[in-house]
């Protein structure tokens, strides 16, 4: 299990469902995300704003209309020593008094750190409003806003200290990328061109602007359909009369567009709503509030891959550019009609906007929003315990989706397998290892089906000489690339996969055992000629796993012969400040010291052990810098005597590092290695320089890379498989308690770690 931590309690003061408002939904989604990712670190407690209209479901509640209730709540919170932070969702109308100034009664009495999320930031404040906001800020340890424009207004017009302010975009829900035509058919819309708007209806939404644009659009596209999704805001229903919706229905009749507009007058379950947005070709954002700081509906539409036509408010002006959508003036239905017609005619532009919007909003996924919030909690407030990421369940779905009867497909377009990319020996070898690991842990009979597929692919790639081709096209033909690409590394990764399969042969069907053994034996002829350091490393690893179930004397001899080549290379390059096998670090670096450790375990030679420890700790000193885990960049690699480049980080190297840390930890019992395993794995979960998830818990896939400013959203085979390898390693080590291993700590190795300046 992960390191134990004392959980800190966060009290959220907000409206909550069944109250129908955007802030209630926002807070619920934020709490769900934080609880889902950091349940070992935080307890999220709710304080409901409740004017007595319904029974409270929480231990804490506040009647915002009663001034004395703020005093009572402050006393109750002060008595609860478990509360570490109070996070208030602020909008002026949520609280009683002038501009919600009853809240000051609570703030002036409570003795806990306060954080705010300002959902409304009004420009050009009068003196009374300005003084109120400044007073709120004086009580705050931090203030969250959702746009940079809000940051600017608070600094320039309210004189709020920039150090208090953090911009975190409105959270969005992860959705699977799907073709719109497929979703439309599943919803019964056939080939209709879909426009949509959603949210609680009210005059501020200006739905009439979209309706007035429809006749001109219909004249060009008779198959267009406009979905107006959502109930009327409760505050807009007076005396059981919904005047605004009745006005819209009359307008539809007057414009004779009844066959082209559907009102979905109900609360939709989130999956249903997101599916409708995913089916939408163009989302019409028609708000007429020029001071609206942020819109959750606009954010949700972008996250579902809608191309956007939006009226100009601070949020849309800050986010939209010509690659994402079109801005129009408020209530300009002619501009909306013209922009819609243009986009409907230009399919390629519309699809490009859709993908760009989907990619743009991955940063704001609720999972990422949760990470950014808790980082600020830790920054502003001293909490008990360390931040601990909860591990997602082991999920093989995307890897299975990427696998045909022939093998695992190489690439994907976001999460859709790209069959035209064909297959590689590399990917299928790693996939075989992954399913062997999964089968060893769970004994799922379905795993045997996939083990058979990947083993069959390796057999298909093996030539009469015993070596392998790497690239197979979608038609099962050997690709021309095999003729001019160095295949030594891919060949030895196949050997590694076969060795892993043979190492668990006692639990595998006899047919699979025999096929793996036969394939492995056919490789023996070319092993002595291996030259590449990494190829040597993978070969030693494969031989080591092989001899676990097939303890033959000559395996030890083959391992030793290969290890001598590596140690010779190490001795040639090693210097006082560069304890490495080459004058640079590239990819799969950890396989080199890991191979030396396997050589030590196979032969018992102390010299191999020394090189393994020395080189591995040197590598770790380059990857754990200032308490942060950093992957060696593929943007130029790390050259000796040259400052290491940053960014360009790939899941494969994170996975290889975790694999090596596991065997070093199991061999020497040094707690530092276990802690490093956890830190490295947290990279997938958002502990990286962008504070964004690399693993997608919705699809079960892993993104292809972490760049300077963005995550590569494609979920190819290599990345997904390497994540799963790492996740399965963490799963099989979850019962290894580091604290129980302290007694085995080796003082000499501790000195090596300190010498390499590894900081945790």
Q: For residue 385, what are the CA distances in angstroms to 7, 8, 10, 686? A: 7, 8, 14, 19
Q: Decide if pLDDT at 5 tops 70.
A: no
**How many degrees, rounded to 5, is the angle at CA 656 between CA 653 and CA 659?**
150
> For 8-167, which CATH class?
alpha beta
Let me know: does 414 contact 484? Beta carbons within 8 Å.
Answer: no
42 membership: H or E segment, kind and range: strand 42-49
Whole-number Å distance between alpha carbons of 667 and 251: 76
State the DSSP code for 203: G
Which residue is listed with tokens 């426009």? 195
Let me know: does 41 contact 10? Beta carbons within 8 Å.
Answer: no
Whole-number Å distance between alpha carbons of 661 and 432: 21
Whole-number Å distance between alpha carbons of 140 and 545: 57
Whole-number Å distance between alpha carbons of 731 and 114: 37
Whole-number Å distance between alpha carbons of 470 and 119: 54
Neighbouring C-beta atoms of residue 674, cutoff 10 Å: 22
CB within 8 A of 308, min separation 6: which ones? 282, 283, 285, 298, 301, 302, 316, 320, 324, 325, 326, 353, 357
Neighbouring C-beta atoms of residue 451, cutoff 10 Å: 24
pTM of the model: 0.91
> Residue 240 has what pLDDT?
74
Which residue is listed with tokens 């919706």? 245
Q: Which residue has the higher pLDDT, 487 or 427?
A: 427
For the residues 417-423, what does the mean pLDDT come to? Answer: 96
Neighbouring C-beta atoms of residue 548, cutoff 10 Å: 14
pLDDT band at 484 (very low <50, low <70, confident <90, very high): low
Q: Which residue has the higher pLDDT, 240 or 328?
A: 328
Which tens digit of pLDDT belongs to each residue from 171-226? 999 999 988 988 999 999 999 999 999 988 888 899 999 999 999 999 999 999 99
| Rg of the Cα atoms in the chain | 30
Let me know: does 424 contact 471? Beta carbons within 8 Å.
Answer: yes
Q: Decide if pLDDT at 255 tops 90.
A: yes
Q: On the CB side of 22, how many CA atoms lie within 13 Å of its CA? A: 22
Q: For residue 378, what are the CA distances in angstroms to 42, 71, 481, 609? A: 11, 28, 50, 40
For the residues 542-567, what does the mean pLDDT come to? Answer: 93
For the residues 240-245, what does the mean pLDDT come to? Answer: 85
CATH for 180-364 is: 3.40.50.2000
Whole-number Å distance between alpha carbons of 665 and 652: 20
> Residue 53 has what pLDDT?
62
Whole-number Å distance between alpha carbons of 102 and 116: 16
Let me know: does 10 contact 377? Beta carbons within 8 Å.
Answer: yes
pLDDT band at 280 (very low <50, low <70, confident <90, very high): very high
Phi, psi of 102 (to 5 degrees): -60, -25
Q: Which of 153-162, 292-301, 334-343, 593-602 has the lowest mean pLDDT?
A: 292-301
Residue 711, SS3? strand
70 membership: H or E segment, kind and range: helix 67-79
Which tens digit of pLDDT belongs to each residue from 600-651? 999 999 999 999 999 999 999 999 988 789 999 888 788 887 888 888 899 9
Which tens digit of pLDDT belongs to each residue from 39-89? 988 899 999 998 876 666 788 999 999 999 999 999 999 999 999 999 999
Cα–chain center distance at 94: 33
Whole-number Å distance between alpha carbons of 657 and 68: 58
Let me know: does 99 contact 135? Beta carbons within 8 Å.
Answer: no
CATH 1.50.10.10 domain locations along the chain: 397-755
Both tokens of residue 551?
Answer: 């303890």
Let me know: does 113 contact 86? Beta carbons within 8 Å.
Answer: yes
Both tokens of residue 520?
Answer: 């492995």
DSSP per-residue codes, 357-410: HHHHGGGGBHHHHHHHHHHHHHHHS--SS---PPPPPP--HHHHHTB-SS-BEE
Q: Decide if pLDDT at 113 tops 90.
A: yes
Which residue is listed with tokens 């004392």? 6
Q: What is the DSSP pairing of strand 282-285 with strand 114-118?
A: unpaired
Which tens digit of pLDDT belongs to each residue from 383-399? 655 678 999 999 999 99
Both tokens of residue 266?
Answer: 């109900």
> Residue 637 has what pLDDT?
81
Whole-number Å distance between alpha carbons of 487 and 485: 6
Region label for 710, one of left (φ > 0), alpha (ψ between -120 and 50) or beta (otherwise)? beta
Whole-number Å distance between alpha carbons of 545 and 503: 5
For the residues 464-481, what does the mean pLDDT come to? Answer: 91
> Residue 756 has what pLDDT?
44
252 membership: H or E segment, kind and range: helix 243-254
CATH 3.40.50.2000 domain locations along the chain: 8-167, 180-364
Let me know: does 364 contact 299? Beta carbons within 8 Å.
Answer: yes
For the residues 339-354, what does the mean pLDDT come to? Answer: 96
Q: What is the DSSP pairing of strand 416-424 with strand 624-625?
A: unpaired
CATH for 397-755 is: 1.50.10.10
């Amino acid at each position: 299990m992960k390191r134990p931590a004392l959980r800190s309690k966060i009290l959220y003061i907000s409206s909550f469902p069944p109250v129908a408002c955007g802030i209630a939904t926002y807070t619920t989604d934020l709490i769900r995300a934080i609880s889902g990712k950091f349940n070992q670190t935080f307890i999220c407690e709710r304080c409901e704003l409740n004017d007595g209209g319904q029974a409270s479901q929480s231990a804490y509640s506040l009647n915002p209309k009663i001034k004395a209730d703020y005093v009572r709540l402050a006393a109750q919170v002060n008595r609860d020593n478990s509360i570490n932070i109070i996070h208030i969702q602020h909008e002026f109308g949520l609280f009683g008094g002038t501009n919600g100034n009853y809240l000051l009664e609570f703030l002036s009495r409570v003795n806990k750190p306060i954080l705010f999320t300002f959902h409304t930031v009004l420009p050009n404040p009068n003196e009374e409003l300005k003084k109120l906001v400044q007073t709120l800020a004086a009580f705050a340890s931090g203030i969250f806003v959702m746009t940079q424009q809000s940051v600017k207004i608070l600094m320039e017009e309210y004189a709020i200290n920039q150090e208090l302010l953090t911009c975190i975009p409105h959270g969005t829900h992860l959705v699977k990328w799907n073709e719109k035509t497929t979703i439309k058919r599943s919803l019964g819309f056939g080939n209709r061109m879909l426009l949509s708007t959603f949210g609680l209806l009210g005059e501020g939404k200006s739905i009439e602007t979209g309706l007035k644009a429809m006749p001109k659009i219909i004249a060009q596209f008779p198959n267009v359909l406009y979905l107006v999704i959502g109930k009327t805001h409760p505050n807009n229903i007076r005396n059981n009369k919904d005047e605004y919706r009745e006005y819209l229905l009359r307008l539809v009749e007057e414009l004779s567009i009844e066959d082209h507009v559907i009102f979905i007058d109900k609360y939709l379950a989130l999956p249903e709503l997101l599916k409708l947005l995913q089916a939408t070709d163009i989302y019409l954002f028609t708000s007429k509030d020029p001071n609206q700081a942020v819109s959750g509906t606009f954010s949700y539409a972008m996250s579902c891959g809608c191309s956007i036509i939006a009226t100009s408010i601070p949020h849309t002006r800050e986010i939209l550019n010509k690659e994402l959508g079109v801005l129009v003036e408020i209530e300009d239905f002619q501009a909306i009609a013209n922009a819609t017609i243009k986009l409907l005619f230009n399919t390629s532009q519309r699809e490009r906007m859709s993908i760009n919007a989907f990619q743009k909003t991955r940063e704001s996924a609720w999972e990422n929003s949760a990470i950014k919030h808790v980082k600020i909690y830790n920054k502003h407030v001293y909490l008990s315990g360390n931040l601990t990421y909860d591990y997602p369940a082991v999920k093989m779905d995307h890897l299975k989706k990427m696998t045909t009867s022939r093998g695992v497909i190489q690439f994907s377009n976001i999460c859709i397998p790209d069959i035209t990319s064909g297959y590689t020996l590399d990917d299928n070898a790693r996939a075989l290892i992954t399913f062997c690991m999964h089968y060893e842990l769970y004994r799922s009979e379905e795993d045997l089906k996939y083990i058979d597929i990947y083993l069959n692919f390796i057999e298909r790639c093996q030539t009469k000489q015993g070596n392998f081709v790497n690239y197979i096209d979608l038609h099962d033909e050997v690709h021309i690339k095999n003729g001019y690409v160095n295949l030594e590394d891919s060949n030895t990764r196949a050997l590694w996969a076969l060795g892993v399969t043979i190492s668990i042969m006692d639990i595998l069907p006899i047919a699979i055992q025999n096929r793996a053994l036969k394939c492995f034996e056919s490789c023996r002829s070319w092993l002595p000629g291996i030259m590449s350091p990494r190829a040597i490393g993978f070969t030693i690893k494969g031989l080591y796993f092989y001899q676990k179930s097939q303890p033959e004397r000559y395996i030890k001899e083959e391992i030793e012969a290969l290890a001598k080549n590596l140690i010779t290379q190490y001795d040639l390059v090693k210097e006082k400040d560069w304890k490495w096998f080459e004058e640079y670090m590239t990819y799969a670096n950890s396989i080199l010291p890991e191979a030396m450790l396997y050589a030590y375990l196979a032969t018992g030679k102390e010299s191999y052990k020394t090189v393994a420890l020395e080189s591995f700790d040197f590598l770790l000193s380059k990857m754990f810098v200032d308490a942060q885990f950093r992957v060696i960049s593929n943007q130029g690699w790390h050259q000796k005597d040259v400052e290491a480049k940053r960014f360009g980080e790939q899941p494969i190297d994170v996975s290889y590092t975790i694999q090596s840390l596991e065997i070093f930890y199991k061999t020497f019992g040094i707690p530092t290695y276990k802690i490093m395993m956890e830190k490295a794995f947290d990279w997938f979960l958002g502990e990286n320089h962008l504070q964004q998830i690399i693993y997608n818990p919705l699809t079960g896939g892993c993104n292809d890379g972490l760049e300077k400013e963005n995550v590569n959203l494609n979920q190819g085979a290599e990345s997904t498989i390497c994540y799963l390898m790492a996740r399965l390693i963490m799963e099989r080590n979850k019962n290894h308690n580091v604290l129980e291993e302290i007694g085995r700590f080796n003082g000499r190795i501790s000195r090596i770690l300190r010498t390499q300046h590894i900081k945790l």
